Amino acid sequence: MSLENYYETLMLSISNRSFASDADSDQIFFEDSMKVLIDDGHSFETDPDIKDAVGGGYQYTPYKGYGLRIDGYEHIPDRGLLNLYLCHYSESYEIKSITKTEINQLTSNLRRFYLKSLDENFSEDFKYIGNEEAYEVSNFIFGFESKIKQIKIVIITNAILSKTIDSLGIDKDEWINQTETIVDVWDIRRFYNNEITRGEAESIKINFNSDFNFSIPTLSAHLDTSDYQSYLCVMPGNVIAELYKKYGARLLEANVRSFLQFRAKVNQGMRNTLKNDPDLFFAFNNGITATADSCILDENGDIKELTNLQIVNGGQTTATMYFVRSKGFSDLEGVFVQMKLSVIKNNEETEDLVSNISRFANTQNKISESDFFSNHPFHRTIESKSRRIFMPKQSGQIRETKWFYERSRGQYQNELGTRGSSDKKLFQEQYPKTQLITKTDLAKVAIIFDGGPNHAVKGAQAAFKKFATDIQKVWEKNHELINDLFYKKLIAQQVLYNQTRVLVMKEVSGNSIQPVTAYALHMLNILSSDTKHSLNYLHVWEGGVYKSLEVQLVKIIEYIIAFFEKNVAGIEGKTTLSFSKTNGCLTAFNQNIENLKEDYLDEDYLNSLKSIEEIVSANKKAKVDQKIEDESTVVIKFSKLDWDKVISFARTIPEISDDKISLLLVFPTMYKRGRLPSTKQIFAINNTINLLTDEGLDI
């Protein structure tokens, strides 16, 4: 796919979603862009364990005034870094250039906004006129200016950097408020390169010879025939601190990054050792475990270059090194850390291998299995259903469509890129971009209907972790519950969310949209579910939000807005978004709606609900159908196995009893006769096969 084709697809997608949701195109572009920055570790969502916005995570706070401009901000406390965002968006269907003059004007307007915010009266003026977003960012700058050690101006644009720009550096006398200031531009080419390389274009590349004037002392720990290389290394503390200063959480592997976010807390024991006994740090510390895509050794066999260095265990050590040096507790001279490095070539198995290294390296930590949920079989199940199950054809549609579940990043774009122009058009008609759903999108919406709107508004990663914890329990109890009906329910919830958001945007704007949408759907679900009835997801699946449901939603949205206004208005530092994230908000809200009269729901809407008997019957049928589908999948897998190899391997495993080996022999014996074992036997054999693969059987 060319840059021009990528741009055309992007603009068409933004236009369609803007039309469908009444959202501004520049806001959609900004939010899409931030997902990319978050995926690559350049940014974070708000940390749900920190009660207010100042704890980290980007905030969308668009403001344009005469000579003033800002679109968002993000405080990264452990590095004393403040990201200030500017969104430069063009509606043009041809790629435009952004010049140095335009960049200077944008940064100048942002600098003016920052400096004015140092006067308390500036933010109070926004509060007086009710501009919640501008008040939030200006009030933050006023209150936290002393904690900011570095400012990064991040310009996000769908234009392309002019070829005449040779530097984005800012002279020291132009720093904002005499604080070190840098400029980072994400233009359309950078987004394009990041997309087609699935993030590799932004991977960290370190040349230790040129950056630090040395190579990493290294001992090889792998066989020449190995598919990957492993090394034991000794890393100077100063190098670790410098890398963290430059790259921040981008050094951390994605699962670990999601867990740590802004909780890479300084370990007091490490700090004291570095301060008082730095020469003992190597002896006391467990070291770092890391992966990389490639490495180059010097003539002595030491590492001089690394590509895509990712720390999978040792994030706290890394953050503490940076902290003690930046605070002046230690200069880290003479401090060394051991590092176990695995160099893994990028291929289809890389993602699973890196995830497993991360999982096993963190067995002693508090990182839970939910942090590694990205590779759970649940996702392959939902992906498979999304490729198979058509949406009911809507009025005016020429052909049926499907939703595209993106199990891993960039799948949709990769599918497009492998097709010719005619096949590409057919693919886009069958899988419209408006029906693309990511793992985090699915999780965010699903937990609203599971009673957690306060978790949903904390951000996609926080929602994903909550969803992971819940769905793993369901999967372990009975994975047959993850059936076609379950899939249709998930998609119906997504349709409800999208169409409710459109209704909400007619009443509120900015950072209030998300909490009002989440709590409106939560309220709808609670009021629609009792001992006799439940929300009619299949009706939504078949035709979207129907008339009586829309009327009911409008009524509920009015109630939600009034609830937030009552609890937020006039309270210093309290916003709809910040309040909606708290357990106190959810508790108070649930108590409020418990007191509603039974006739709150309109009669027409009540008549559209499904009876509990109908739902129980549908669930039973869906479970039976899923069991049949699972059985068919297992039989197909068994038919392709080398059973002589399986039986021979099983006989070498002490834990596999003679009874289990006899059971394994049942399938090939019966299959040769054109028969199949019983359902119970098939799943028992499958359990044994799974045990064998855990022991190393390659099937």
Please tell me the least confidently modeled range out of 57-66, 126-135, 249-258, 397-406. Answer: 249-258
3-state class (DSSP) for residue 483? coil
Least confident of 127-131, 395-399, 499-503, 682-686: 395-399
Mean of the pLDDT values across residues 108-124? 91
Lowest mean pLDDT among 192-206, 272-286, 545-559: 192-206
What's the gap between Cα 222 and its chain centre? 34
More reliable by pLDDT, 514 or 46: 514
Looking at residue 170, what is its pLDDT?
85
Q: Which helix (H) or strand (E) holds 689?
A: helix 679-694
Q: Is the dihedral of CA 373, 378, 379, 382 positive or negative?
A: negative
Sheet with 294-297, side-by-side order of all strands: 205-207, 303-307, 294-297
Percentage of the chain beyond pLDDT 70 is 85
User: Would you tell me how many other CB atoms lie within 10 Å of the CB of residue 288?
Assistant: 23
pLDDT of residue 253: 59
pLDDT of the residue at 264: 44
pLDDT higher than 70, residue 107: yes
Q: How does 378-413 read in b/e, with b if 16+ C-beta sit within 10 Å?
A: bbebbbebbeeeebeeeeeeeeebbbbbbbebbbbb
The answer to whether the beta carbons of residues 176 and 111 sit under 8 Å apart is: yes
649 has a pLDDT exceeding 70: yes
Least confident range from 98-107, 413-422, 643-652, 681-690: namely 413-422
Q: What is the mean predicted confidence (pLDDT) over 427-455?
A: 89
Q: pLDDT category, 463, cuts 50, 70, 90?
A: confident
Highest mean pLDDT among 31-40, 216-225, 516-525, 686-695 belongs to 516-525
Residues of the chain with pLDDT > 90: what percent? 23
CA separation (Å) from 162 to 98, 168, 257? 6, 12, 34
Q: What is the pLDDT of residues 288-333, one digit of tens each?
A: 888 888 889 998 889 999 988 888 888 778 888 888 888 788 888 8
d(CA 606, CA 62): 40
Count other C-beta atoms under 10 Å from residue 198's C-beta.
Answer: 15
**What CATH number has the domain spanning 3-201?**
3.40.91
Looking only at the bridges linking them, the beta strands covering 218-220 and 228-236 are antiparallel
356-381 pLDDT, tens digit each: 665 555 544 544 444 446 567 788 88
If one compares 534 and 546, the residue with the highest pLDDT of the two is 546
457 and 425 Cβ atoms separated by less than 8 Å: no
pLDDT of residue 259: 42
Segment 416-420 shows an average pLDDT of 72
Of residues 100 and 48, the one with the higher pLDDT is 100
Distances (CA, A) of 461 to 202, 257, 329, 551: 21, 10, 34, 32
Q: Average model confidence (pLDDT) for the chain?
A: 82
Residue 141 has pLDDT above 70, yes or no: yes
Residue 251 has pLDDT above 90, yes or no: no
Structure confidence at residue 347 (pLDDT): 53
Inform me whether the pLDDT recorded for 202 exceeds 80.
no
The pLDDT confidence band at residue 226, using thresholds 50, 70 and 90, is low
pLDDT at residue 506, as a whole number: 87
Looking at the predicted structure, is the pLDDT value of residue 349 above 60? no
Q: Where are the domains of the chain?
A: 3-201, 203-367, 377-614, 615-694
Residue 261 has pLDDT above 50, yes or no: no
